[in-house]
Amino acid sequence: MNHQIEIDALIEAKWIIPVEPAEVVLSQHAIAIDNGIIQAILPQSEAKYRYSPQETLSLNDHALIPGLVNLHTHAAMTLMRGFADDLPLMEWLNQHIWPIEHQLVDAQFVLDGTQLACAEMIKGGTTCFNDMYFFPESSAEAVILSGMRATIGMIVIDFPTNYAADADDYLSKGLELRDKYHQHPLLSFCFAPHAPYTVSDQTFTNLLTYAEQLNTPIHTHLHETRDEIRINLESHGVRPIERMLQLGLLGPNLIAVHMVHLTEHEIKLVHQYGCHVVHCPSSNMKLASGFAPIASLLGQGINVGLGTDGAASNNRLDMFEEMRQAALLAKAVSGKADALPAHQALRMATLNGANALGLGEITGSLAAGKAADITAVDFSDLNLAPCYDPVSHLIYTASREQVSHVWVNGRMLLQDKELTTLNKFELQYRTAFWQERIATTSK
C-alpha cells in the first residue's frame, strides 16, 4: 500500500544546482517543499512515488539554483539610477548624491525606492539582500510587502540627515526597529556604520559593544578608494584597516564592502580575524575605484560574497552581471584563467553571502531543512544553446532575463517572469513622481 506524504509543492527541473555539496549538478531531479521548507531533493521518479503534492510544477528546460544573495546595496537609491553618472566617488557623493538626499529623502522616498529595487531584484533571481540606507523602517516595510528576505542595516553616520540628528539618534532608532521586527521570519539586522571617513572612533566603539552583545554583524564600506585611505592617514595616522584593528572591529562579525586597495599584510589580517568581504565589481569599475584582489582573498580562504552596490552607482541590481564580472575580472587581474571558476562565482552569489549575514543555515544553498529560496533559470532560449555545462552557462552566458520563477520561503514571488506581490503599474507611477521631483530639485 502506497502511503504518500502530503506536501505543498513539488518542483521538477532539468537540472538542480544545490551549491552545497560543491560542484554538484543533479539531472532530472525534483524539490519537495512543505511549509516553506525544502523537505527533500530527489530523482523525479522517486519523488512522484513518495509525495502527494498540492501543486506540481514541471520546468523541463530549467535549472534551479539557490536564490541569489545581494550582499551589499542601498536599495532606495534605485530612484537615483543614472542621476549623476561618470564622476569620481567623492565628487559624486559631495556634489550630487548627498545634496539630493538632504532635500528629498524621507520615509516615503525609501518605501517607494526600496519597492522598486525589490521588483528589480526579484525579476533578476535575487531572494535576499543586505541593505544600508536611511529610514530603514521603510526599507523593512517594503521588504515585507515584496515577500523577499533581507538584512536591514541600522545605519549610523556622524552627521545629521533627515533621518537622525547624531550618531546616538541613528543608533537608538535602529535598535528600536530591530526590537520591533526581531522575530520576523524574513528580516534580520546588522549595524551599518557608513564608512571610516563618516564615522568617529567613539561611534565605532559604541557600535562594537552593541554588536558583541547582540551577536549582530557590522556592515561598512572599507578601503574602497585611494582617497578614503589618504583621508584616514591624514586624520588618524593609519590606514583604515589598521584603525579598525585598533578599535577591535576586525572579526567574524565584520562585513567589509569593496576592499579594493589592500596590501598583502592587510589581506592576511582579514583572514586572521575571519572577516567577510563584499566584492562589488561593477560599481568599483564605474566609479573608477579599481580592481579588488579577489584571487588573493580567495587564495587565503577568506569568505567573499557579491554585491551590486546601489543602482545610483552601478546602475542595475543585477547579480548575474556581478557573477560574470567577478569571474572575468579575477582572471584578468591575476593572470590565471582558473582564478575564479564558474562554480565558485555562483557560490559567492549565494552561500557565501548567506554565511556572511549569519543566514547560512537558512538560505544560500538548496538542501533539506533549509528555506525554499529558489530561482529558476530558463535554458530554452536559443542564446543558451548548446549547453555542455549549466553552471558555466549561468555565469558566462545566461542573464537575468532568463529568470522565470522565484520563491522565497516557498512563496512564489515571480511566476513566468511576472511579479506576484508587487504592482508594476503602481511602481511605475511612483517612480515617475520621484523622477520629476529629483529632476526639478537638482536644477
Nearest by Cα to 156 from 212, 96, 220, 113 = 220
- Mean pLDDT over 216-235 rounds to 96
Class of domain 5-66+374-408: mainly beta
Domain 68-356 fold is: TIM Barrel (3.20.20)
Q: Indicate if the pLDDT at residue 133 is higher than 70.
A: yes
Q: How confident is the model at residue 443 (pLDDT cuts 50, 70, 90)?
A: confident
Query: Which pLDDT does position 138 carry in this prediction?
Result: 98
| pLDDT tens digits, one per residue of 20-57 | 999 999 999 999 999 999 999 999 999 999 999 999 99
The CA distance from 15 to 28, in Å, is 6
Q: Is 142 exposed, middle or buried (0-12, 13-18, 19+ CB in 10 A)?
A: buried
Q: What average pLDDT score do residues 392-416 get?
A: 98
Kindly calculate the radius of gyration of the chain based on its CA atoms and give it in whole angstroms.
Answer: 21
Mean pLDDT of 174-191: 98
Tell me what pLDDT residue 1 has.
Answer: 42
| Residue percentage of the chain with pLDDT more than 90 | 97
For residues 89-99, give the mean pLDDT.
89
User: Could you read off the pLDDT of 271-309 as tens digits, one per residue?
Assistant: 999 999 999 999 999 999 999 999 999 999 999 999 999
DSSP three-state, residue 261: coil
CA–CA distance, 172 with 73 (Å, rounded to integer): 22
State the average pLDDT over residues 76-84. Answer: 96
Average pLDDT over all residues of the chain: 97
Is the pLDDT assigned to residue 70 strictly greater than 90?
yes
pLDDT at 114 over 90: yes
pLDDT of 241 above 70: yes
pLDDT at 386 over 70: yes
Cis check for the bond before 386: say yes or no (omega within 30 of 0): yes
**Which comes out higher in pLDDT, residue 92 or 10?**
10
Report which of 172, 148, 181 is spatially closest to residue 73, judged by C-alpha positions. 148
For the sheet containing 276-279, what is the strand order? Answer: 68-73, 126-131, 149-156, 187-193, 218-222, 254-258, 276-279, 303-306
Q: pLDDT tens digit string along 119-130? A: 999 999 999 999
Outline which parts of the chain fall under CATH 2.30.40.10.
5-66+374-408
Domain limits, CATH 3.20.20.140, in the chain: 68-356
**Position 2 pLDDT exceeds 80:** no
CA dist 368 and 380 (Å) reads: 28
Distances (CA, A) of 337 to 105, 164, 221, 326, 331: 44, 48, 29, 12, 5
